[in-house]
Structure 1
């Protein structure tokens, strides 16, 4: 049995399901805000092959918003 499997089984034995849930991690912040993330997930659910299009749209909206902020 792999080390990961043993680790998971021990966690399950010690703390149940709660031990198997992901815990917060360090790292870079998300690129999408909550609203953008929701929009992206909705659009991709409508057409799963459109992820690049949806992300490009989000990028362009942010770029336009930043340019308008300078004027």
Structure 2
């Protein structure tokens, strides 16, 4: 006998929440988890969902369990610890000013920033910061 697992029928509010997360969620993983729950509500099996989303079966099963236990909070990633940022907001502002002066001189920016702040930052990090902070 094949065991089938589905989420409990979704309320209108839960369907709206999940549909919004699926279409407008900030992170891909949230959109994917919301999609999995919506598919389960439509009667798709875990195997079908894992095939549709191209993820492992145990991941889909875990998402469904997390939904049942915690609702929307269960499918959102919790904050994780990580390395503190090298540059603070003041450094970001100064970097913006330096870019305005020398827009295509990443090595010069790197040297000036290190000279002014005493912080060693790779060109990769500088590019990432500039890309993230650009309008």
TM-score with structure 2 setting the length: 0.28
TM-score with structure 1 setting the length: 0.46
Higher relative contact order (CA 8 A, sep 6+): 2
Larger radius of gyration: 2
